[in-house]
Structure 1
Amino acid sequence: MITWIKSNLIWTEGQKILLILLFLMVFGWFIWKLLFLVSLIFLVCCFYFFRNPSRNCLAAHSDDTILICPADGRVIDIQYDPHSELEGYAYKVSIFLSVFDVHVNWIPMAGTVKKIVYKPGMFMLAFLPKSSLLNECNDVVLAGKQEKTILVRQIAGWIARRICCWIKEGEHLTVNQKYGMIRFGSRVDTFLPDNVMLAVKKGEYVYGGQTVLGRWICY
């Protein structure tokens, strides 16, 4: 329990929320006990939301053809375009994160960050197809061995209003490494080239940093 509290991201990514709730709790304790109780409940919920679990996919460390899922959640859509017109890629795998899911994001494969592009936008419901194009998002282009390139897109939703990205362009990352989070309900799209064989299906629940997303194949 102590480790869970110490590793919780509320200390870094939810400081303002934490301070506001603590202030309301102190104020409510002396003035209005109902306010204290409601603030305490919200504080517990926030600690749960900002949880920061340790995940490790051992197979991905020993086999560099394996790609892992970048986020917890439900696979709500898988698109395939043989002409690679999905942002220049053949596949798009969309994972929807509800407010009850872990919102930390993981790197799907080892590689170098080629580009990071933040795009301001709307805050539509994240499970809607158009949210991938119209909502506020942050794109990370990652290049691995033999010029294997993928794109991971963090998408803010109707409740989520902040995208956190902890990496920089040119940085070399390892598989399973945490690279960011999205606050309060969101979506993560992963764009993959044609030489990837997917290991997930639409409707499946996946775990970031643990569930195998797919595998590189050779032609």
Structure 2
Amino acid sequence: MFHREGQKIILITFFLVVAALLVAQYYVPADWARWLVQISALVVLVLILQFFRNPKRPVTPSFDEVLAPVDGKVVIIDEVDEPEYFKDKRKQVSIFMSPVNVHVTRYPVSGTVTYSKYHPGKYLVAWHPKSSTKNERTTVVIHTPKFGEVMYRQIAGAVARRIVNYAEEGEQVTQGTDAGFIKFGSRVDLFLPLDCNIHVRLNQKVVGAKTCIASLPKQDD
């Protein structure tokens, strides 16, 4: 299954690959050159297909947990000042996506979208400390029954040139469902309440809509 954001690119790539295979078959006389063109064309098609793959991940929504919004590796766990929306301290967890990761963004929590904004910006490498505030990005805040408001931020990297964000203010969203896509990039930041329990560690690989990033502290009976 492939993401809808990749349908046009996949179709164009398919026709280009078919054209390359035919040209190589009938107009490239040397066997080694013909094989080189054909294999290269097929490799490009496979890479495009794997980039836009969209595996099904059924989720039983939980108001007590924040799930990973994307596949990737945890690169930041820190307490930071969040200046755009909360304007106070939050726990930040950042996930970096390599080109081989699934690049679908999924809602980390269920609730009501209270803020959704696109910011044009630069294309610094995703692990750069200033990429969270300087790069092209979208910021989404979801109000949940138990966590209060949870923010996630899609951030473009050095290669990514387009962020797709489906979240609209006032919309009811469900944990684990499709929230957007980052084409050929690169990082998502989560900003969580200070009293939540973080369940991941630095350099841990996480799976979107599967890995629990944080939970609420247990309440005394």
Q: Is TM-score (shorter-chain normalized) higher than 0.5?
A: yes
Look up the match of 1:31: 23
Are the aligned partners of 2:139 and 2:151 in contact in 1 as well (CA < 8 Å)? Answer: yes
Letter of the 2:120 partner, please give it. P
- State whether residues 138 and 163 of structure 1, in contact with CA within 8 Å, keep that contact through their aligned partners in structure 2: yes
Deviations 1:127-161 (A, max 9, x none): 22211111100111111116700110000111111
1:8 aligns with 2:16: no
Q: Is the 8 A contact 2:71 2:97 kept in 1?
A: yes
Q: Matched residues in 2 for 1:19 and 1:8: separation?
A: 12
- What's the CA shift string for 1:11-70, capped at 9, x where partnerless? x31244224323322332332345443222111111111111122444xx3x42111111
Q: 1:86 offset after TM fit, Å? A: 2.2
Equivalent residue for 2:55, pick from 50, 53, 56: 53
1:15–1:52 distance in 2 versus 1, CA, 3 Å: closer
1:131 equivalent in alignment to 2:146: no
| TM-score, L = length of structure 2 | 0.85
1:72-108 deviation per Cα after TM superposition (whole angstroms, max 9, x unaligned): 1110011114xxx223341111100000111111111
Query: Equivalent residue of 1:175, what SS?
Result: coil
Summarize the alignment of residues 163-202 of structure 1 with structure 2, pairs less than 5 Å apart. 163-202=163-202
| Pick aligned residue for 1:86 from 82, 87, 94 | 82
The corresponding residue for 2:110 is 110
Q: Distance in 2 between matches of 1:51 and 1:13?
A: 10
- 1:149 to 2:145 alignment: no
Q: 2: CA distance between counterparts of 1:147 and 1:196?
A: 8
State percent identity of aligned pairs. 38
Q: Which shifted more, 166-175 or 23-32?
A: 23-32
Cα gap change, 1:214/1:146 in structure 2, threshold over 3 Å: closer, same or farther? closer
- Distance across 2 between alignment mates of 1:27 and 1:146: 55
Amino acid in structure 2 at the alignment position of 1:44: V
2:70 alignment partner in structure 1:
71
Mind listing any 5+ residue stretches in structure 1 that lack a counterpart? 1-6
Which 10-residue stretch deviates more, 34-43 or 89-98? 34-43
1:200-211 alignment runs, 5 A limit: 200-211=200-211
Q: Is the 8 A contact 1:25 1:35 kept in 2?
A: no
Instruction: Identify if the C-alpha distance between structure 1 residues 48 and 147 changes in structure 2 by more than 3 Å, giving closer, same or farther.
Output: closer
Tell me the SS of whatever aligns to 2:101.
coil
The AA in structure 2 aligned to 1:86 is E
Aligned length: 205
Alpha-carbon contact 2:64-2:146 (below 8 Å) kept: no
Alignment CA distance shift 1:18-1:56 (3 Å): closer
Q: Does 1:100 align with 2:100?
A: yes
Q: Which moved more, 1:184-193 or 1:19-28?
A: 19-28
Q: What amino acid is aligned across from residue 77 of structure 1 in structure 2?
A: I
